[in-house]
Structure 1
Amino acid sequence: MYKQLMTFQQVSRRMLSTTANKQVMNRVPQKQKMFQEDNGIPIHLKGGATDAILYRTTMALTIMGTAYVIYELVNAALPKKK
């Protein structure tokens, strides 16, 4: 039992003490410059095509969800006659 506990401690230390091998380039200044630029594009669309797709998907899901809720409310308010 003690040997298993010591092995577990070594493995957990090794996992927590590892460092990243790659250096990641800091892109924050570039993103700040892009988002602070005054070019007439709304802030939620300045990220490019990905932002536009995410925005349209979110709006479509919101509209479909709202329509479904209204449909279910109407069904609950006006039950079918037997």
Structure 2
Amino acid sequence: MNRQIFALQQVARRTISSSARRQVENKVPQKQKHFQEDNGMPIHLKGGGSDTLLYRLTMGLTVMGAAYAVFELVKVALPQKK
């Protein structure tokens, strides 16, 4: 049992302390250039289709929530007669 824990500690220490095997390309300057260019598109939609879908989903949920809140307020303000 102790040997297994010791081996696990060595493996964990080796992977954390060793340098990266593969260098990751820095994509931040490309993203900055893409999002800062003036093409008449709102910033919240420049990310592509996933941003558009997320925006529409958020707007839909917001409108439905507001409509439901107004419905509930009207229902409480005007109780039905028995």
Q: Which structure 2 residues correspond to residues 36-55 of structure 1 after superposition, within 5 A?
A: 36-55=36-55
Alignment deviations for residues 13-59 of structure 1 (CA, whole Å, 9 cap, x no partner): x58x8256654322111110000011111111111111110110010
**Greater alpha carbon shift after TM alignment, 38-47 vs 22-31:** 22-31
Q: Which runs of 4+ in 1 moved over 6 A?
A: none
**How much has 1:72 moved relative to structure 2?**
0.4
* SS of 1:53 mapped into structure 2: helix
- Between the two proteins, the alignment pairs up a number of residues equal to 72
* Aligned match of 2:78: 78
* SS of 2:24 mapped into structure 1: coil
Q: Which structure 2 residues correspond to residues 7-22 of structure 1 after superposition, within 5 A?
A: 14=12, 18=16
In the superposition, relative to structure 1, how do residues 81 and 32 fare at CA in structure 2: closer, same or farther (>3 Å)?
Answer: same
**Greater alpha carbon shift after TM alignment, 59-68 vs 17-26:** 17-26
TM-score scaled by length of structure 2 = 0.72
Root mean square deviation, CA, Å = 2.3
Q: Sequence identity, in percent?
A: 61
Gaps of 5+ in 1: 1-6
